[in-house]
Structure formats: structure tokens, C-alpha cells
Copies of this chain bind each other. A is one copy, B any other.
């Protein structure tokens, strides 16, 4: 183990708590139909109350509740039918003592009414007279004008990504644009003399296509970011530093998919140290130890390990929460999980976070082993098990939580 990698090693917990972005992305107005999963920059307040009028929630008759007290099948109340409410229109008649008005679900309650009797408990036995066979309490069969949202109340909170029902409530309130944090722009820089673009048809011996950048772009998009492919940089001295200087002004986060060799990692560390402050070099996580975190003039930079699997594991643990924070969200949406029994013992070192890829069948989590150079392990996995930092391992047969990929 090279001493160089650990000169400022940290745990993942330390990195999550301490390596935090100084800024948030700017605020922009987006139309409602582009606002799904975007993060409101501030609480959105209701311009007026909702539904905005006392509204029937059943088909039936608007009444004064007191006129129905004691009504039963055997001894119904009889009320005068005074008229009918039309959907989407103001009532043209009020309810007086001893009277009722026919109501559709969703209609405006007439003045004088304080409840709606469901049609199931009524009968129009004679023209102009309605028989009521069950009492209704004041407020029954209706919602108040401010029952869904009071004027000045929050429609949606700041900092929580907007969900589908939120869009509905905003629409109901007439809020058709929302001030949200801009999607964080994530510059993805690949490095390595051996790395060529994915569309390279014929590889020369020793060349590999850039797998990590495409996979990272997917993780970035899933976390609400906007991936920007910033190309492949050779291991030539100075090349990475120059590219970083070019991409930093337009990025909210820079991710360097570092070369896999010690030499390439040292080159990355040198380039980053030349333009920013290295926060840590070496992370107590497996896979993913050779991770570098730096602050480049307020822009966070994550230097990932060269192995694709390690790089994606580290980005999932650190990059994803960082991205949400950049967009103003401190509690990212939770991933899907399931409980399963471990098929075998898993060893770990105390003080290190272990991420073990697993398949899940019939409630059994089967670890997938293999060199972290193998991306196919991640493709075959259904999810992963976390062995927390204090633990020295997990025992076969234990019930564990599996974080599922989706």
C-alpha cells in the first residue's frame, strides 16, 4: 500500500460531514411541466385558499345539519327541495330551515347549508320533497373553503425535490412556474493514455473504451444533475491541469475519472493540487480507496479511482449526496431497499466502509466477488450491502438491508 495515497485519508462519514459545497446552484424559474424532481429554492406559498369555496364531496342534498337530527329509516325528515346546484357555477338559491338543494360532488355549497346528505340516504318520494333517512353532522359530506390549503400556507416546502402530487397542488393553486435551483452541471473528465471514446470501432492493443464517463453520466442524471462530457485527457504532464482550468468556470462539480496506475493517480493529484486545495487523498472505503476530494476555488472536485466499479461505488456514496446538496437538497430521495439473508460471511476491516455487490433471489443476498476492474459485476448485481465502518464483517444467515439498483 503506497504511503502517498494515505497522506490525508478520511472515512466516508468524515467526507459526508466535512466535504460540503460552499455554494448552491443559482435559482431559475421553470414551468410546472418541467419541474418534476427539481428542488424549490424557497417554500411556495398559496396565493389563495383551496378549494376556494365550501365544496360538496358527495352527490346528495345540501342541508342545515340540524334539520336532519334524529332522522332514520323508520322516521325520516322531510325537506323542501329548493333547487339544484350546477357544476362549476355559483348556486342560485340558498338553503333555509326545512329546505334542501340538490348537489353534485364538487359543487359549491349554497349559502345557509352546513352539510351534504349522501344521495344513498335520501329519496324524492314526492315531487318537491326529499326524504332524509340518516342524520348528518355539520361539515359532513363537504370540505371547507380552506380545508385543502389555507391562504398563505405552504404548498410545498423548500429543499425537497418536487414529486408528482406536488405538481398537482401547485396547479390547483394556479402556480405554473416554480423557482428552483439550477441542475448542477457536472464536468466529467476522463484520463488515461489507454482510454479512447466509446465509439472507437477498432481498439489497438491495450486500449479500452471509456466506460466510466457514460455510467457516471447516468448517475449524475439520476441525481438531478446535468452531465457534461469534458473529454479524455492524456497522461502527459500538464494536460489534466489545463483541461481542469478550462472546465472549472462552467461547472458546479468536477469529476475526474483518474487513470488506474500509480503514476496516473500521482499525475491527477499533482494537477489538482496545482489548482485547488486537496481535502483528502485516500478514502476508507472498499472498493474506492484511491479517491481524492478537493476544493477548486469553491467548486468541489472528486477524483475517482481508475477502476470503473470502484469509481461508480464512490460516486454513489459521495458524489450523489454532494450533487443534491449543490441543488439545495440536504435529504436526497431514498433509494429502494429490501431485506435479505446473507448467503455467506463477509469480512471487513474496522474503520472502513465496505460496499459489497449482491444478487437477491428468494430473500437471499449472494455476494458477487471479482476484481474491481470488472464492470460486469455491477451489471449483474441487483444491489449492494453496506458493511458499516465499525463492523469487522457480517455473518452468513444475518438479515441485511440491500440497497437496490433501479
A contacts, CB < 8 Å to B: 1-2, 32-33, 36, 50-53, 55, 57, 59, 85-90, 104-108, 119-120, 143, 147-149, 155-156, 161-176, 192-195, 198-201, 203-219, 221-222, 227, 229, 235, 259-264, 306-308, 312, 333-338, 370-376, 378-379, 404-406
* Contact (Cβ within 8 A) B164 A216: yes
**Contact yes or no, B337 A36, CB < 8 A:** no
Which residue of chain B has its CB nearest to the CB of A165?
Answer: B378
For A209, what are the chain B residues with a Cβ–Cβ distance below 8 Å? 171-174
Q: Which of A1, A165, A200, A372 has the most CB of B within 10 A?
A: A165
Chain B hits for A214, CB < 8 A: 32-33, 167-168, 170-171
Main secondary structure on A side of the interface with B = loop
Q: In the complex, A53→B209 CA distance in Å?
A: 13
Asked whether B404 lies within 8 Å of A32 as measured between CB atoms, the reply is no
Q: Which B residues lie within 8 Å of A33 (CB)?
A: 214, 217, 227, 229
A149 touches which one: B205, B370, B376, B406 (CB < 8 A)? B376
Give the nearest-CB partner of A51 in chain B: B208
Residue A264 contacts which of B87, B173, B374 (CB distance < 8 angstroms)?
Answer: B87
- A194 to chain B: which residues have CB within 8 Å? 87-89, 106-107
**Contacting residues, chain B, for A379 (C-beta < 8 A):** 155-156, 163, 165-166, 169
Query: Which residues of B have CB within 8 Å of A204?
Result: 88-90
B334 touches A334 (CB 8 A): no
Nearest-Cβ distance from residue A86 to partner chain B, whole angstroms:
8
Can you show 16 pairs from A to B with CB atoms below 8 A apart? A2-B120, A53-B206, A88-B204, A104-B262, A104-B264, A106-B192, A155-B379, A162-B218, A163-B405, A164-B219, A165-B215, A165-B375, A168-B212, A168-B308, A169-B378, A173-B209
Q: Which residues of B contact A192 (CB under 8 A)?
A: 87-88, 106
Contact B106 A376 (CB under 8 A): no
Asked if A222 and B164 make an inter-chain contact with CB atoms under 8 angstroms apart, the answer reads yes
| Total copies of this chain within the assembly | 2
Q: Which residue of chain B is the closest to A235 with respect to CB atoms? A: B87
Q: A36-B222, A334-B338 are in contact. List 8 more A-B contacts (CB 8 A).
A: A53-B205, A57-B372, A147-B370, A165-B218, A165-B312, A168-B308, A173-B209, A174-B209
Chain A to chain B: the 5 pairs with minimum beta-carbon distance, closest first: A164-B218, A168-B215, A88-B194, A104-B261, A333-B406
User: B263 and A169: CB pair below 8 A?
Assistant: no
CB closest residue in chain B, given A404: B334
Please, which residues of chain B bring their CB within 8 A of the CB of A378? 165, 168-169
Contact B308 A374 (CB under 8 A): no
For the complex formed, measure the closest distance between the CB of A124 and the CB atoms of chain B, giving whole angstroms: 14
Known: A336-B337, A371-B57. A174 touches B199 (CB 8 A): yes
Residues of B with C-beta under 8 A to A148: 373-376
CB distance from A146 to the nearest CB of B (A): 11
Give the complex CA separation of A335 and B404 in angstroms.
10
Contact of A200 among B119, B174, B215 (CB under 8 A): B174
Please, how many angstroms separate the alpha-carbon atoms of A46 and B124 in the complex? Answer: 73
Query: Considering the chains assembled together, what is the distance between the CA atoms of A394 and B168 in angstroms?
Result: 30
CB pair A218–B163 under 8 Å, yes or no, is: yes
Instruction: State whether A59 touches B169 (Cβ < 8 A).
Output: no
Q: Which residues of B contact A52 (CB under 8 A)?
A: 203, 208
Shortest Cβ distance from residue A304 to the other chain B in the assembled complex, whole angstroms: 12
Q: A147-B374, A171-B215 are in contact. Are A105 and B260 (CB under 8 A)?
A: yes
Chain B hits for A88, CB < 8 A: 192-195, 204, 206-207
Whether B213 contacts A171 by the Cβ 8 Å rule is yes
